[in-house]
Amino acid sequence: MKALVLTEIEKMEVQDIKEPKPLPKEVKIQMKYVGICGTDKHLYQGLPGSATATPPIVLGHENSGIVVEAGHLVDSLKVGDRVTIDPNIPCLHCRYCHEGRIHLCENLEAAGVTRNGGMEEFVTVPERCVYKIPDTLSYKAAAMTEPVSCVVHGFQELEIKQHYKTLVIGDGFVGQLFISLLKARNVGEIYVSGHNEKKIPLLKEIGADVVFDPEKEQLNETFDVIIECVGRPNTQEQAIQMAARGGQILMFGVGDPKTEIQVNAYDIYFKELIIKGAFINPHVMEDAISILDHQVINVEKLITHELTLEEVEAVLSGENQEKITKAVVKISE
Protein backbone atom coordinates (compact mmCIF):
# COMPACT_ATOMS: atom_id res chain seq x y z
CA MET A 1 0.00 0.00 0.00
CA LYS A 2 1.00 3.61 -0.45
CA ALA A 3 2.30 5.48 2.59
CA LEU A 4 4.08 8.76 3.21
CA VAL A 5 6.93 7.79 5.53
CA LEU A 6 8.98 10.21 7.63
CA THR A 7 12.22 8.31 6.96
CA GLU A 8 14.40 10.62 9.03
CA ILE A 9 14.09 14.11 10.55
CA GLU A 10 13.18 16.54 7.74
CA LYS A 11 12.94 13.82 5.11
CA MET A 12 9.82 12.12 3.75
CA GLU A 13 9.25 9.56 1.04
CA VAL A 14 6.16 8.04 -0.56
CA GLN A 15 6.78 4.30 -0.23
CA ASP A 16 5.04 1.05 -1.00
CA ILE A 17 4.81 -0.67 2.41
CA LYS A 18 3.10 -3.79 3.72
CA GLU A 19 -0.57 -3.43 4.75
CA PRO A 20 -0.94 -3.58 8.55
CA LYS A 21 -2.82 -6.45 10.19
CA PRO A 22 -5.14 -5.59 13.11
CA LEU A 23 -4.40 -7.16 16.52
CA PRO A 24 -7.38 -8.88 18.25
CA LYS A 25 -8.64 -5.58 19.80
CA GLU A 26 -7.76 -3.39 16.81
CA VAL A 27 -9.49 -2.40 13.60
CA LYS A 28 -8.03 -1.74 10.18
CA ILE A 29 -9.30 1.45 8.59
CA GLN A 30 -9.14 2.53 4.98
CA MET A 31 -8.21 6.19 5.23
CA LYS A 32 -10.39 8.81 3.53
CA TYR A 33 -9.00 12.15 4.70
CA VAL A 34 -6.14 13.22 6.93
CA GLY A 35 -5.56 16.77 8.17
CA ILE A 36 -2.17 18.46 8.32
CA CYS A 37 -1.50 20.47 11.44
CA GLY A 38 1.19 22.63 13.02
CA THR A 39 2.19 19.66 15.15
CA ASP A 40 3.12 17.75 11.99
CA LYS A 41 5.56 20.55 11.15
CA HIS A 42 7.10 20.20 14.62
CA LEU A 43 7.35 16.41 14.29
CA TYR A 44 8.91 16.78 10.82
CA GLN A 45 11.58 19.02 12.37
CA GLY A 46 12.23 16.58 15.22
CA LEU A 47 10.40 18.64 17.86
CA PRO A 48 7.84 16.90 20.11
CA GLY A 49 4.08 16.95 19.55
CA SER A 50 1.92 15.25 22.20
CA ALA A 51 4.95 12.90 22.30
CA THR A 52 8.12 12.49 20.26
CA ALA A 53 8.01 10.86 16.81
CA THR A 54 10.90 8.53 16.01
CA PRO A 55 11.44 7.82 12.29
CA PRO A 56 10.65 5.77 10.33
CA ILE A 57 7.03 6.64 11.01
CA VAL A 58 3.86 7.63 9.17
CA LEU A 59 2.42 10.92 10.48
CA GLY A 60 -1.27 11.94 10.45
CA HIS A 61 -3.31 12.35 13.63
CA GLU A 62 -6.46 14.00 12.18
CA ASN A 63 -8.18 11.10 10.49
CA SER A 64 -11.38 9.75 8.97
CA GLY A 65 -12.05 6.52 7.14
CA ILE A 66 -14.02 3.31 6.87
CA VAL A 67 -13.51 0.08 8.83
CA VAL A 68 -12.36 -2.71 6.47
CA GLU A 69 -11.31 -5.36 8.99
CA ALA A 70 -11.88 -5.96 12.69
CA GLY A 71 -9.77 -8.08 15.05
CA HIS A 72 -11.60 -11.09 16.49
CA LEU A 73 -12.11 -9.50 19.95
CA VAL A 74 -13.62 -6.26 18.58
CA ASP A 75 -17.31 -5.98 19.38
CA SER A 76 -18.34 -2.32 18.96
CA LEU A 77 -17.32 -1.88 15.32
CA LYS A 78 -17.86 -3.76 12.10
CA VAL A 79 -16.70 -3.68 8.51
CA GLY A 80 -18.30 -0.74 6.71
CA ASP A 81 -18.55 1.61 9.72
CA ARG A 82 -17.67 5.23 8.87
CA VAL A 83 -15.33 6.46 11.59
CA THR A 84 -12.95 9.04 12.97
CA ILE A 85 -10.00 8.29 15.24
CA ASP A 86 -8.90 9.73 18.55
CA PRO A 87 -5.17 9.47 17.92
CA ASN A 88 -4.26 9.61 21.61
CA ILE A 89 -3.93 6.27 23.35
CA PRO A 90 -3.58 6.49 27.15
CA CYS A 91 -2.18 3.48 29.04
CA LEU A 92 -5.15 3.36 31.48
CA HIS A 93 -2.91 2.14 34.33
CA CYS A 94 -0.74 5.11 35.39
CA ARG A 95 -1.77 7.41 38.27
CA TYR A 96 -3.25 10.02 35.91
CA CYS A 97 -5.24 7.47 33.95
CA HIS A 98 -6.52 5.96 37.20
CA GLU A 99 -8.09 9.27 38.17
CA GLY A 100 -9.53 9.95 34.71
CA ARG A 101 -7.01 12.56 33.60
CA ILE A 102 -6.10 10.38 30.64
CA HIS A 103 -4.55 13.22 28.64
CA LEU A 104 -1.81 13.56 31.26
CA CYS A 105 -0.98 9.85 30.92
CA GLU A 106 2.66 9.08 31.67
CA ASN A 107 2.84 6.52 28.86
CA LEU A 108 0.83 8.27 26.16
CA GLU A 109 0.96 6.74 22.69
CA ALA A 110 -0.54 8.44 19.66
CA ALA A 111 -1.38 7.42 16.11
CA GLY A 112 0.63 9.65 13.82
CA VAL A 113 3.18 10.38 16.55
CA THR A 114 4.48 7.24 18.30
CA ARG A 115 2.82 4.73 15.91
CA ASN A 116 1.77 4.98 12.29
CA GLY A 117 -0.99 7.49 11.57
CA GLY A 118 -3.24 8.33 8.68
CA MET A 119 -0.92 9.44 5.88
CA GLU A 120 -1.24 5.98 4.34
CA GLU A 121 -3.94 3.89 2.69
CA PHE A 122 -4.69 1.64 5.67
CA VAL A 123 -4.08 2.22 9.37
CA THR A 124 -4.65 -0.04 12.39
CA VAL A 125 -5.71 1.43 15.74
CA PRO A 126 -7.19 0.10 19.01
CA GLU A 127 -10.97 -0.27 18.97
CA ARG A 128 -11.35 2.12 21.91
CA CYS A 129 -9.87 5.02 19.91
CA VAL A 130 -12.38 4.71 17.09
CA TYR A 131 -15.65 6.69 16.96
CA LYS A 132 -18.50 6.11 14.52
CA ILE A 133 -19.68 9.21 12.68
CA PRO A 134 -23.22 10.04 11.48
CA ASP A 135 -24.06 9.52 7.78
CA THR A 136 -24.75 13.26 7.59
CA LEU A 137 -21.12 14.09 8.40
CA SER A 138 -18.69 14.07 5.46
CA TYR A 139 -15.34 12.30 5.71
CA LYS A 140 -13.63 15.61 5.00
CA ALA A 141 -15.31 17.31 7.98
CA ALA A 142 -14.89 14.21 10.16
CA ALA A 143 -11.12 14.36 9.71
CA MET A 144 -11.29 17.60 11.70
CA THR A 145 -12.74 15.90 14.81
CA GLU A 146 -9.36 15.76 16.56
CA PRO A 147 -8.46 19.47 16.21
CA VAL A 148 -12.03 20.43 17.12
CA SER A 149 -11.89 18.15 20.17
CA CYS A 150 -8.68 19.83 21.36
CA VAL A 151 -10.38 23.21 21.03
CA VAL A 152 -13.44 21.93 22.92
CA HIS A 153 -11.15 20.79 25.75
CA GLY A 154 -9.51 24.23 25.86
CA PHE A 155 -12.91 25.89 25.82
CA GLN A 156 -14.01 23.76 28.78
CA GLU A 157 -11.03 25.07 30.76
CA LEU A 158 -12.57 28.56 30.65
CA GLU A 159 -15.54 30.04 32.42
CA ILE A 160 -17.37 31.87 29.64
CA LYS A 161 -20.14 34.41 30.26
CA GLN A 162 -22.14 36.15 27.55
CA HIS A 163 -21.16 39.65 28.67
CA TYR A 164 -17.44 38.89 28.73
CA LYS A 165 -15.14 40.70 26.40
CA THR A 166 -13.04 38.06 24.65
CA LEU A 167 -9.89 38.14 22.57
CA VAL A 168 -8.67 35.39 20.26
CA ILE A 169 -5.00 35.90 19.37
CA GLY A 170 -4.35 34.31 15.99
CA ASP A 171 -6.49 34.23 12.84
CA GLY A 172 -5.47 30.72 11.74
CA PHE A 173 -7.57 27.57 11.73
CA VAL A 174 -7.48 27.06 15.51
CA GLY A 175 -8.35 30.72 16.13
CA GLN A 176 -11.26 30.31 13.73
CA LEU A 177 -12.51 27.25 15.64
CA PHE A 178 -12.45 29.21 18.91
CA ILE A 179 -14.26 32.18 17.31
CA SER A 180 -16.99 29.81 16.09
CA LEU A 181 -17.43 28.31 19.57
CA LEU A 182 -17.52 31.73 21.27
CA LYS A 183 -20.15 32.85 18.77
CA ALA A 184 -22.19 29.71 19.38
CA ARG A 185 -22.20 30.66 23.09
CA ASN A 186 -23.58 34.10 22.15
CA VAL A 187 -20.60 35.86 23.64
CA GLY A 188 -21.19 39.58 23.15
CA GLU A 189 -17.83 40.90 22.12
CA ILE A 190 -15.30 38.82 20.23
CA TYR A 191 -12.04 40.53 19.26
CA VAL A 192 -9.50 38.82 17.02
CA SER A 193 -5.89 39.81 16.48
CA GLY A 194 -4.19 38.75 13.25
CA HIS A 195 -2.06 39.99 10.41
CA ASN A 196 -3.86 38.83 7.29
CA GLU A 197 -6.35 41.40 5.97
CA LYS A 198 -7.72 38.93 3.43
CA LYS A 199 -9.13 36.83 6.25
CA ILE A 200 -11.21 39.63 7.79
CA PRO A 201 -14.47 38.93 5.88
CA LEU A 202 -14.40 35.24 6.89
CA LEU A 203 -13.51 36.05 10.51
CA LYS A 204 -16.46 38.45 10.71
CA GLU A 205 -18.77 35.95 9.04
CA ILE A 206 -18.01 33.28 11.65
CA GLY A 207 -18.42 35.65 14.58
CA ALA A 208 -15.60 38.18 15.07
CA ASP A 209 -16.87 41.64 16.05
CA VAL A 210 -13.52 43.42 15.80
CA VAL A 211 -10.43 42.28 13.91
CA PHE A 212 -7.22 44.22 14.47
CA ASP A 213 -3.55 43.94 13.62
CA PRO A 214 -1.44 44.54 16.77
CA GLU A 215 1.55 45.53 14.61
CA LYS A 216 -0.44 48.35 13.03
CA GLU A 217 -2.70 49.57 15.82
CA GLN A 218 -2.33 49.79 19.57
CA LEU A 219 -5.54 48.73 21.25
CA ASN A 220 -6.23 50.25 24.66
CA GLU A 221 -8.58 47.52 25.79
CA THR A 222 -8.46 44.72 28.30
CA PHE A 223 -10.29 41.41 28.10
CA ASP A 224 -12.00 38.98 30.43
CA VAL A 225 -10.99 35.96 28.36
CA ILE A 226 -7.95 35.74 26.12
CA ILE A 227 -7.22 32.68 23.99
CA GLU A 228 -3.67 32.55 22.66
CA CYS A 229 -3.52 30.40 19.51
CA VAL A 230 -0.12 31.35 18.08
CA GLY A 231 2.47 30.01 20.52
CA ARG A 232 5.11 32.71 20.09
CA PRO A 233 6.66 34.58 23.04
CA ASN A 234 5.43 38.03 21.93
CA THR A 235 1.80 36.90 21.58
CA GLN A 236 1.98 34.91 24.82
CA GLU A 237 3.24 37.97 26.67
CA GLN A 238 0.61 40.12 24.95
CA ALA A 239 -2.09 37.66 26.09
CA ILE A 240 -1.16 38.23 29.74
CA GLN A 241 -0.69 41.99 29.35
CA MET A 242 -4.12 42.45 27.77
CA ALA A 243 -6.04 40.65 30.51
CA ALA A 244 -8.54 42.61 32.59
CA ARG A 245 -8.74 42.11 36.37
CA GLY A 246 -10.05 38.62 36.99
CA GLY A 247 -9.08 37.71 33.44
CA GLN A 248 -8.61 34.17 32.19
CA ILE A 249 -5.81 33.40 29.76
CA LEU A 250 -5.76 30.16 27.81
CA MET A 251 -2.33 29.28 26.43
CA PHE A 252 -3.42 27.08 23.53
CA GLY A 253 -0.77 27.79 20.87
CA VAL A 254 2.08 25.27 20.89
CA GLY A 255 5.44 26.93 21.19
CA ASP A 256 9.02 25.74 21.10
CA PRO A 257 9.72 23.71 24.27
CA LYS A 258 12.77 25.86 25.03
CA THR A 259 10.99 29.22 24.79
CA GLU A 260 10.46 31.32 27.90
CA ILE A 261 8.38 34.46 28.36
CA GLN A 262 8.45 37.44 30.71
CA VAL A 263 5.51 37.78 33.05
CA ASN A 264 4.75 40.55 35.52
CA ALA A 265 4.07 38.54 38.66
CA TYR A 266 2.51 41.53 40.42
CA ASP A 267 -0.16 41.62 37.67
CA ILE A 268 -1.04 37.99 38.37
CA TYR A 269 -1.55 38.90 42.03
CA PHE A 270 -3.23 42.27 41.61
CA LYS A 271 -5.48 41.33 38.71
CA GLU A 272 -6.10 37.83 40.09
CA LEU A 273 -5.28 36.34 36.70
CA ILE A 274 -5.95 32.75 35.79
CA ILE A 275 -3.44 31.34 33.30
CA LYS A 276 -4.28 27.91 31.94
CA GLY A 277 -2.84 25.37 29.54
CA ALA A 278 -4.83 22.90 27.47
CA PHE A 279 -3.24 19.66 26.31
CA ILE A 280 -4.96 17.41 23.75
CA ASN A 281 -8.53 16.16 24.04
CA PRO A 282 -9.75 14.11 27.01
CA HIS A 283 -13.35 12.84 26.85
CA VAL A 284 -14.53 15.29 24.17
CA MET A 285 -14.54 13.36 20.89
CA GLU A 286 -18.32 12.83 21.01
CA ASP A 287 -18.86 16.56 21.59
CA ALA A 288 -16.59 17.40 18.68
CA ILE A 289 -18.47 15.02 16.36
CA SER A 290 -21.79 16.60 17.40
CA ILE A 291 -20.41 20.12 16.91
CA LEU A 292 -19.28 19.22 13.39
CA ASP A 293 -22.43 17.30 12.49
CA HIS A 294 -24.68 20.18 13.59
CA GLN A 295 -22.42 22.70 11.85
CA VAL A 296 -21.86 24.72 15.02
CA ILE A 297 -18.52 24.96 13.27
CA ASN A 298 -18.81 24.95 9.48
CA VAL A 299 -15.44 23.31 9.14
CA GLU A 300 -15.45 22.61 5.41
CA LYS A 301 -15.54 26.33 4.82
CA LEU A 302 -12.39 26.75 6.92
CA ILE A 303 -10.37 24.13 5.01
CA THR A 304 -8.39 26.05 2.40
CA HIS A 305 -6.41 23.32 0.63
CA GLU A 306 -6.87 19.72 -0.47
CA LEU A 307 -3.55 18.02 -1.20
CA THR A 308 -2.14 14.69 -2.35
CA LEU A 309 0.36 12.69 -0.27
CA GLU A 310 3.09 13.75 -2.72
CA GLU A 311 2.47 17.41 -1.89
CA VAL A 312 2.69 17.12 1.91
CA GLU A 313 6.45 17.38 2.44
CA ALA A 314 6.72 20.75 0.65
CA VAL A 315 4.12 22.12 3.06
CA LEU A 316 5.80 20.70 6.19
CA SER A 317 9.27 21.82 5.12
CA GLY A 318 8.09 25.33 4.25
CA GLU A 319 9.23 24.92 0.64
CA ASN A 320 5.62 25.58 -0.37
CA GLN A 321 5.20 29.15 0.86
CA GLU A 322 1.55 29.51 -0.08
CA LYS A 323 -0.65 30.86 2.72
CA ILE A 324 -2.26 27.63 3.89
CA THR A 325 -4.73 28.12 6.74
CA LYS A 326 -5.79 24.48 6.84
CA ALA A 327 -4.96 21.61 4.50
CA VAL A 328 -6.31 18.10 4.27
CA VAL A 329 -5.02 15.19 2.21
CA LYS A 330 -7.45 13.01 0.33
CA ILE A 331 -6.26 9.43 0.68
CA SER A 332 -9.09 7.50 -1.04
CA GLU A 333 -12.55 7.99 -2.58
d(CA 295, CA 60): 24
CA-only gyration radius of the chain, Å: 20
Which residues of the shown chain bind Zn ion in the complex (CB under 5 A)? 37, 39, 90-91, 94, 97, 105
Nearer to Zn ion, 22 or 147 (CB): 147
Nearer to Zn ion, 104 or 314 (CB): 104
Nearer to Zn ion, 6 or 190 (CB): 6
Rounded to a whole number of angstroms, the minimum distance from the CB of residue 204 to Zn ion is: 26
Give, to the nearest 10 degrees, the angle between helix 145-156 and helix 285-293.
110
Nearer to Zn ion, 40 or 224 (CB): 40
Nearer to Zn ion, 111 or 208 (CB): 111
Nearer to Zn ion, 106 or 205 (CB): 106
- Phi, psi torsion values for 32, nearest 5 degrees: -105, -60
Contact 24, 18 (CB under 8 A): no
Rounded to a whole number of angstroms, the minimum distance from the CB of residue 329 to Zn ion is: 13
Q: How far is CA 254 from CA 97, 212, 227, in A?
A: 23, 22, 12
Rounded to a whole number of angstroms, the minimum distance from the CB of residue 125 to Zn ion is: 16
Rounded to a whole number of angstroms, the minimum distance from the CB of residue 97 to Zn ion is: 3
Rounded to a whole number of angstroms, the minimum distance from the CB of residue 105 to Zn ion is: 3
Nearer to Zn ion, 20 or 117 (CB): 117
Rounded to a whole number of angstroms, the minimum distance from the CB of residue 37 to Zn ion is: 3
Contacts for 247 with CB less than 8 Å, ≥ 6 apart? 222, 223, 224, 225, 226, 271, 273, 274
Rounded to a whole number of angstroms, the minimum distance from the CB of residue 151 to Zn ion is: 11
Cβ atoms < 10 Å from Cβ of 65? 29
Rounded to a whole number of angstroms, the minimum distance from the CB of residue 40 to Zn ion is: 7
What is the DSSP track for 181-199? HHHHTT-SEEEEE-S-GGG
Using alpha carbons only, give the angle 249, 239, 245 rounded to the nearest 5 degrees.
60
- Phi, psi torsion values for 267, nearest 5 degrees: -60, -40
Nearer to Zn ion, 187 or 329 (CB): 329
Q: Where are the alpha helices (DSSP H) in the chain?
A: 38-44, 95-98, 139-142, 145-156, 173-184, 200-206, 233-241, 265-270, 285-293, 299-302, 312-317
The β-bridge partners of 110 are 88
